[in-house]
């Protein structure tokens, strides 16, 4: 009699148990499909004194939306792809040609431009012979720029020989921005940043940098090899790092 009762109990509970198992499996699957968002920094995450995060972001999504407000602005996109196009491609080509002369980039370099918007930097690299070049931005601009978040680059470790960015000031989590560069850069690879030190950056910036020292502290796997003054579309300093360890 007791055995029959146990069997009956199992028969009754079996559909419920299967439902729980299937529900948990579906939840796990959907969780894996969700777009990854960098977690907020821990309360004790300390930044160097010469780097300040601007307040006003209630969530990572609110930060992304503010960045998209600029990137998707139709007037700006028209300017970037028309009257600004040749001027910026020519200027970037000058910057990159100088890096070639200093043996910091070659025609065979696998190259990434971070925060490339409509890809003027990528076009400039290709113009000077660095054909294996691509950009990432929150909004893609094929074929030059694919969709990607610089806080979580969509590439494998050691994918690139050269990485360039002039949008460091747009990083809400600068240490994560730098960490992703060092992750996807091969050992011996070069990263070039154009930054603004002399004054506050534009209204869409998420941080303010007041010296090169914070960059030196955050690039933990790289050595600083050069700092020079430039005139780069409102940015005044070129900082060059070489990755020396994995």
Q: What is the pLDDT of residues 120-136, one digit of tens each?
A: 999 999 999 999 999 99
The answer, yes or no, to whether residue 240 has pLDDT greater than 60, is yes
**Cis before 17? omega within 30:** no
Q: What pairing do the DSSP bridges indicate for beta strands 185-195 and 207-209?
A: unpaired
Going by the DSSP 8-state scheme, the letter that residue 41 receives in this structure is P
115 Rama class: left (phi>0) / alpha (psi -120 to 50) / beta: left
The answer, yes or no, to whether residue 88 has pLDDT greater than 50, is yes
The answer, yes or no, to whether residue 148 has pLDDT greater than 60, is yes
Cα–chain center distance at 244? 21
Distance CA 121, CA 67 (A): 19
Share of the chain above pLDDT 90, in %: 75
Distance CA 4, CA 129 (A): 80
Give 45's pLDDT tier (boundaries 50, 70, 90). low
Give 30's pLDDT tier (boundaries 50, 70, 90). very low
181-216 pLDDT, tens digit each: 999 999 999 999 999 997 777 889 999 999 999 999
Distance CA 116, CA 89 (A): 12
Going by the DSSP 8-state scheme, the letter that residue 67 receives in this structure is H
Q: How many helices (H) and strands (E) does the chain have?
A: 7, 9
- For residue 150 the two structure tokens come to 């610089």
């Amino acid at each position: 009699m007791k055995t029959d009762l146990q069997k009956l109990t199992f028969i009754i509970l079996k559909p419920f148990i299967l439902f729980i198992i299937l529900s948990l499996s579906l939840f796990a699957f959907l969780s894996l499909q969700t777009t990854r968002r960098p977690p907020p920094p821990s309360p004790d995450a300390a930044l160097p004194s010469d780097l300040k995060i601007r307040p006003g972001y209630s969530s990572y999504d609110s930060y992304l939306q503010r960045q998209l407000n600029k990137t998707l602005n139709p007037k700006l996109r028209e300017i970037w792809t028309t009257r600004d196009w040749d001027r910026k491609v020519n200027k970037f080509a000058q910057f990159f040609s100088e890096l070639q002369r200093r043996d910091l980039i070659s025609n065979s370099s696998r190259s990434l431009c971070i925060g490339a918007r409509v890809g003027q930097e990528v076009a400039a690299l290709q113009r000077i012979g660095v054909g294996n070049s691509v950009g990432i931005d929150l909004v893609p601009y094929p074929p030059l720029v694919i969709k990607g978040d610089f806080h979580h680059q969509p590439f494998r470790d050691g994918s690139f020989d050269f990485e360039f960015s002039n949008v460091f000031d747009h990083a809400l989590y600068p240490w994560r921005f730098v960490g992703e560069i060092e992750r996807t850069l091969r050992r011996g690879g070069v990263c070039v940043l154009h930054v603004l030190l002399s004054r506050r950056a534009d209204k869409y910036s998420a941080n303010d940098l007041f010296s090169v020292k914070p960059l030196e502290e955050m690039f933990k796997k790289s050595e600083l090899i050069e700092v020079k003054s430039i005139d780069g579309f409102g940015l005044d300093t070129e900082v060059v790092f070489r990755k020396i360890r994995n």
